[in-house]
Amino acid sequence: MKVVVVESPAKAKTINKYLGRDYEVLASFGHIRDLPAKDGSVDPEADFHMLWELDERGSKRVSDIVKALKGADGLILATDPDREGEAISWHVVEALTARRALKGMPVERVTFNAITKSAVDTAMRNPRQIDQALVDAYLARRALDYLVGFNLSPVLWRKLPGARSAGRVQSVALRLVCEREREIEVFKPREYWSLVATLVTETGAVFEARLTGADGKKIQRLDIGNGADAAAFKRDLELATFSVASVEAKPAKRHPAPPFTTSTLQQEASRKLGMAPAQTMRAAQKLYEGVEIGGETVGLITYMRTDGVDMAPEAIADARRVIAKEYGERYLPAAPRKYSTKAKNAQEAHEAVRPTDMGRLPKTVARTVDAEQAKLYELIWTRTVASQMESAELERTTVDVTAAVGPRKLELRATGQVVKFDGFLTLYQEGKDDEEDEDGKRLPPMKAGDALKRERIASTQHFTEPPPRYSEASLVKRMEELGIGRPSTYAAILQTLRDREYVKIEKKRLVAEDKGRLVTGFLESFFKRYVEYDFTAELEGQLDRVSNAEIDWREVLREFWKDFSAAIAGTKELRVTEVLDALNDLLGAHIFPEKADGSNPRTCPTCGSGQLSLKLGKFGAFVGCSNYPECKYTRQLAATGVEGDGDGSSENGGQPGTRVLGTDPVSGLAVTVRDGRFGPFVQLGEASTDKEAAKPKRSSIPKGLSPSAVDLEKALKLLSLPREVAKHPETGEPILANLGRFGPYVQHGKMYANLGRDDDVLEIGANRAIDIIVAKEQGGGRRGPAADPGRPLGAHPESGKPIVVKSGKYGPYVTDGTTNATLPKTLASEDIALPQALELIAAREAAGGSKKKAPARKAAGAKTAGTKAPAKKAAAKKAAPPEGDATPKAAAKKAPAKAAAKTSASKTSAAKPAAKTAVRKKA
């Protein structure tokens, strides 16, 4: 018997069926070790020695593998076929070696690009050893991300309060978004005019032609720059005689796009399906791991992290058979199509993302997967099949028209395009970002010399527009063009920028938040080299050379650290005033937008003599007057309105981070939105210096409601909470709606019930409030916030128990009534489907947490240190930062208390029994 290790339980279950009784397949649940989130985990002084931590979950996984290896004939590592998968296998071997579990046992590495029986069988017949070059590239990347995050982020905290973190790749992606924002701000619209003639042929057909030249000179798009010139051209055209100068029809072909890479899949899923990159990768992971079809569990697509666009010969032959069968021989080219990647620094020589079986049509698959996965599979299937179809045949026609008015000749042009044979377009057309539609109109028949009649002349004013903000799709495309990041990192980078509140999404576009712009401005001013695109791409190229065994990974780190550590040291003497001056200059167009009257935008509107400047306060950055404290004018970072009318000013001594909304019509007091220690809130009036005076009324802003979206009306509603919604049908007592520590809720006496995700505390009606309270009462729940009744996902295929997703105190989770499994941060409760829920529950059961535990205080008569310690430990546990965004945590201060548990791999296993014994004695 041999032991096989893969990443996920779903993958383990499928492969176990393929291999049979002679194999035991176990899941590592991803990485079993990581760098502890504290200073010193990578030590440049010790030639970049890395201190790995085997956490509780990872230790359980290793123990399971050690147990399975007793009496086994060998270990097979079958993790994913990329750099990250190679690293997971390496970590498993290192941890097992530390436990002395291998003892000369043969260890083999196998990879397969698809989870199908034939692919797995082929892989098992062709084992290899762990590719140390790929592991070294992983180590270098992980160390670089750690060194940047854990050294640069503290500089941000000290010099730029309110900043969250910086990352090696994350900060460069953020710079792209912020640079586009600056381009938009400094953009000056330019006026131009277009003239279009509607003309009629001799047979009565109507078409349009655009003015393109006059007196032998070409007229470009911006050449007619004012209304007077446009009016002169229009006058001449209205007097002119029109005739056809020439007609030219040219055949053309449009070729299909290659099959998907990770990047192009994320782009197309964003354009066509509205799916965020992280959402796309979750769905693709499920399709890769497979579903049960016809009694057999099978992977539906090949591995989804790849730069490759090529396909295996058998896959191409499969696609051609489907094309001939479904669309006919006319749509099948004479020879198979071959593609090569154009991505900068392309690596990971895998196949493109494609279906494992082209004959498995989307309509068939849709019956076995959820709606999101079905849409993504259809997108992958159509793109793959279309890539092997015949080209589309077009005819592009150009008609030049002469307009004669006296001795003057004006030139006009009409263009049209006709699809003669749709080819691959019958199945698929690639989406585009920010691109004008081609002129696909058909032109009527005409020939040179034909006279034309004028129907009307249109003169239209236009203004040039700034470059559009990036969508998630176009940002991924730009990052790929620049060689920034890799297929496995795009989704994580974008998610990190959103989680850090550096960017937000408005109308499917990425908008840089003030916090993100300040971080980028700081890095560009004092760490410019490390956010340069060429430098980052070059570093990625160095990592690729490491993966090809061309250079030593520690040499890459030494070269990087020499200059980077010097740059960090150079900021020790950096004064905050220098930081502010640099940001004032760099972000001037954003912080001090031009005024309509042309006056100096930095002149204080209150005192008239002071200069406005960026300042740093307890809650972040704000704009204040240089005459402080005599002049107490402040406003939020971005001025968004008319001075003194809701633009965030506080001329009468308001605090930084304050936006004035207006006046309460009842009390006459000012209503403001403010940044607080625990988040944004609204406030009525100002705090008094008299300690005996009552505090001003305040209300927090509900999660999901942006502070910028709060107007006077909403603020007054929030300040009116709690509000009576209804009377209880039995007691007649009021049911109140209010905001609490854990979010919005309704209350009847001492009974509290949390509102659902779709309920609005300001709008909830009587019927809904009564339903929530009655449901809570009938459930016999404890006093306090109610448990979410949850959304049913379906029944467990084995136990028949209902699977439900619920909202809990610590976030959404799935449950079968016995086992509760918390959802990952990247997965929203509304996105989860039954297969994902089953996997999370299985993982939770495997981790040994299958039963809901009663609170410790119920078992003991009093609160003791022994009963409370586990809860505190669980609450304090920190997840290691993701690749590309290593961030130091406050937990570093607690390192002494955790020293026994957080050591190198070999020490961890030895320390844990002692730690457990100590806890038992204490209890």
Q: Which residues are catalytic?
A: 303
- For 775, the token pair is 């449901």
Select from 164, 886, 158 the least CA-distant residue to 515.
164
User: To which residue do tokens 């669309």 refer?
Assistant: 327
Measured CA to CA in angstroms, residue 303 lies from 285, 290, 352, 370, 678 at distances of: 8, 11, 8, 19, 43
Select from 447, 451, 444 the least CA-distant residue to 243.
451
Measured CA to CA in angstroms, residue 722 lies from 82, 750, 764, 788 at distances of: 55, 14, 12, 21
- Coil, helix or strand at residue 429: coil
Calpha distance 340→342 (Å, rounded): 7
* Residues in Cβ contact with 249 at an 8 Å cutoff, skipping those fewer than 6 apart: 395, 396, 397, 398
- For 273, the token pair is 């399906």
Select from 50, 260, 7, 232 the least CA-distant residue to 143.
50
- DSSP state string for 651-680: TTTPPTTEEEEEE-TTT--EEEEEEETTEE
Calpha distance 47→696 (Å, rounded): 57
Measured CA to CA in angstroms, residue 338 lies from 308, 310, 357, 433, 538 at distances of: 12, 7, 19, 25, 29
Q: Are 826 and 278 in contact (CB under 8 A)?
A: yes
Element (H, E) at 411: strand 408-421
Calpha distance 893→824 (Å, rounded): 26
Calpha distance 538→533 (Å, rounded): 8
Calpha distance 91→589 (Å, rounded): 49
Calpha distance 336→316 (Å, rounded): 7
Calpha distance 99→61 (Å, rounded): 13
Respond yes or no on whether the N-terminal peptide bond of residue 36 is cis (omega within 30° of 0): no
DSSP state of 595: P
- DSSP state string for 615-640: EEETTEEEEEETTTTT---EE-SS--
- Coil, helix or strand at residue 760: coil
Q: Are 163 and 156 in contact (CB under 8 A)?
A: yes
- For 23, the token pair is 């194999």
- DSSP state string for 539-550: HHHHHHHHHTTS
Measured CA to CA in angstroms, residue 614 lies from 5, 154, 637, 656 at distances of: 55, 21, 8, 11
- For 772, the token pair is 């929530």
